[in-house]
Structure 1
Amino acid sequence: MKRRKAVKTNPRIRILSKKLEMVSKKQKAEIWKTIARALEGPAQNWAEVNIEKLDRLTKEKEVVVVPGKVLGSGSLTHSVEVYAFNSSAGAKKSIQSARGKIGTIEELIEKNPKGTGVRIIR
């Protein structure tokens, strides 16, 4: 019995995935392809990263991307730029209070199409 490939119904995911693939090919940046593959998978397998984990794994002024959702548990002691598919209100507040920046993956693609200096956190 053949299994059919699951198709994402959320138009934002479909558009973002295509854009990530296109930019990856055009800029020869493997990071975007990796993120696209993560977002094309089941949502239950997406990254859910707490602020506490970001604080442990990042350094001052580092740029990170989360292929999933950033959650607000914990506190952030340094400024960091975080880009994710989605983030909770608590996470946004924590990042901004630490003088960091929170944004979407789409914003990061526009800002840094080559993906240099960007780290994936899962």
Structure 2
Amino acid sequence: MVHALLELSAKVKAKGEGEGEDREEKRRREEMRRREKTDPRIDRLIGDLKRISRESSAPLWRDIAKRLEKPRRHYAEVNLSKINRYSAENDTIVVPGKVLSAGEIEKPVTIAALGFSKRAVEKISSRGKCVSIEELMEANPKGSGVKIIV
């Protein structure tokens, strides 16, 4: 019985000594979570999207801002074939990431994205229109009739 109590008190002491390390690790993790975007354009875009969302009561822009706050490795990479499959004529599409050129676009659509590959811009320009998310946000602050494709 005495032996068990000694072991228990040793464990408690060991735990108390290691607390500083746990706090330090927790502080590091919190610091990593609070890290800002290194691209000032994206940082500014996220702030503008949130502001427009509040002013216009448009949840679409808030949703896109949340998607862009995530790490870059989680951004959408959408091929033209997917946009063609899920869009109708004269639709307005937002891609919170990059549009890639695999596939063809057969309908006139307006596509707003964070970035486009060179071939995607060529293919889209033949039928539709490429714009930045900032341009679409200014042209349509309510976000009406806009589809998000990820």
With structure 1 as the length reference, what TM-score do the two structures score?
0.96
Residues 9-20 of structure 1 aligned to structure 2 (within 5 Å): 9-20=38-49
Is residue 142 of structure 2 the alignment partner of residue 117 of structure 1?
Answer: no
Tell me the SS of whatever aligns to 1:14.
Answer: helix
Seq. identity, %? 44
2:90 paired residue number: 61
- Structure showing greater relative contact order (alpha-carbon pairs closer than 8 Å, 6 or more residues apart): 1
- Which ranges in structure 1 are unaligned for 5 or more consecutive residues? none
Question: Offset of 1:97 from its aligned partner?
Answer: 1.1
Question: Offset of 1:7 from its aligned partner?
Answer: 1.6
2:134 paired residue number: 106
Is residue 107 of structure 2 the alignment partner of residue 86 of structure 1?
Answer: no
Moved over 6 A (4+): none
1:48 paired residue number: 77
Higher-helix-fraction structure: 2
Tell me how far apart the structure 2 counterparts of residues 57 and 117 of structure 1 sit (CA, whole Å).
14
- Which ranges in structure 2 are unaligned for 5 or more consecutive residues? 1-24
Alpha-carbon RMSD across the aligned residues, in angstroms, is 0.8
| Larger Rg computed on CA atoms | 2
Q: Deviations over 1:59-114 (max 9, x none)?
A: 1100010000000111111111000011111111111112x011100000110001
2:51 paired residue number: 22
With structure 2 as the length reference, what TM-score do the two structures score?
0.79
